[in-house]
A and B are shown apart, each in its own frame.
Chain A
Amino acid sequence: MMMNYPIIGGTTAHLLGGASIGLIIGPFAGLIFVTIILVLQAFLFGDGGLTTLGANVLNMGIIGVFIPCILFLVMNKLFKGTGKKLYAMIFISAFVGDVLAAIAAGTELGLSTPTFQYGLSIAVPAMAINHSIIGVAEGIVTVVLIGTLLKLRPDVLEKSPILSKLPIFQNEPEPKEE
């Protein structure tokens, strides 16, 4: 969240990381992790801020983490995540999580009139469009991260509350005793 990437129109947006965290360590642990990041940023760097901490935890910690997890579980139930389908599911979960978190932030900004002079009709599309672009990057980064872990450390993902529901882990024989 420290790194804000330039996107069209001279504006910037940053990756959330909520999807990758949620999918790997589960939504509840993911929420705690994102909250730690937001608290450190607010207290040390004045990024996000103390008075907006609640809104940020709601947007990035709850919506940004739980939505990708729920979406992924639903898609896994419907389409059985294997092969390319699995990567498409990860991408979609991360993308939608980012866009919905941005829409939530836009809604909060839009409802903050007159402190923020633009209403919902401007704030929501502005946030949603910006974060659709960064959502693509988030999707790619999440796919690469989880894809790498699936190849190198499937034993870690097997313990994930979310990714352990994948068919590759469900059909595997019982792990050997260590």
Chain B
Amino acid sequence: MAKNTKKLNQKTLIVGLTVALIFVLVGVFMFSYSMKTLDKQAEQLGAEEKPVFTPPFVDYNIPGLDNEWGALIIGIAGTLLLFVVSLGVAKVLHKKKGN
């Protein structure tokens, strides 16, 4: 890959990640009251949740920090984690395809 293209790709990734994080910021602070997902509505309609396991950050909350700031930290960490995991999977699949 040419050096210029590599630099351009890095720039695109940084811009993309920044936009995603801005999305998280705006989402958390402008729409946080509606962060409750479809299951909340389902509960109102009479359906019950029967969890088979307890995830560490239920409904995007950090235990002990149940507010927008907790959701913001989760949002940023989640976005970065998704980026790293996806990049890892893409690299592995790309390598396998190459072989």
Identify the A interface with B (CB < 8 A).
Answer: 2-6, 11-12, 14, 29, 32-33, 36-37, 40, 42-47, 49-51, 109, 115-118, 152-153, 155-156, 178
Contact A36 B34 (CB under 8 A): no
Known: A6-B33, A12-B41, A153-B8. 18 other contacts (CB 8 A): A2-B24, A2-B60, A2-B74, A2-B78, A5-B34, A32-B93, A36-B89, A37-B82, A40-B78, A42-B55, A45-B55, A45-B60, A45-B74, A45-B78, A46-B51, A116-B46, A117-B46, A178-B1
Complex contacts, B58 vs chain A, CB 8 Å: 45-46
Query: Could you say which interface size class chain B belongs to?
Result: 35 or more
Taking a contact as CB atoms under 8 Å apart, the answer to whether A156 and B12 are in contact is yes
**Docked pose: A50 CA to B51 CA in angstroms:** 9
Known: A45-B58, A156-B12. A36 touches B53 (CB 8 A): no
Which residues of B are found within 8 Å of A4, using beta-carbon distances?
31, 34-37
Contact, CB under 8 Å: B55 / A116: no
Which listed residue (B5, B59, B89) contacts A32, Cβ 8 A? B89
Chain B residues with CB under 8 A of A116: 42, 45-47
Q: How far is the CA of A42 from the CA of B60 in the complex (A)?
A: 11
A117 near B37 with CB under 8 A, answer: no
Tell yes or no: B98 within 8 A of A by CB. no
Which chain B residues (4-50) contact chain A, with CB distance < 8 Å?
Answer: 5, 8, 12, 23-24, 27-28, 31, 33-39, 41-42, 45-47
How many angstroms from the CA of A33 to the CA of B85 in the assembled complex? 10
Q: Is the interface of A mostly helix, strand, loop or mixed?
A: mixed
Residues of A within 8 A of B56 (CB): 44
- Of the candidates B33, B52, B57, which one forms a contact with A45 in the assembled complex, judged by CB atoms under 8 Å apart? B57
A–B complex contacts, Cβ < 8 Å, 30 sampled: A2-B24, A2-B75, A3-B24, A3-B35, A4-B31, A4-B34, A5-B31, A6-B33, A6-B34, A14-B37, A40-B82, A40-B85, A43-B55, A45-B57, A45-B58, A45-B59, A45-B60, A45-B74, A46-B51, A46-B55, A46-B59, A47-B59, A47-B60, A49-B39, A49-B51, A50-B52, A116-B46, A153-B12, A178-B1, A178-B2
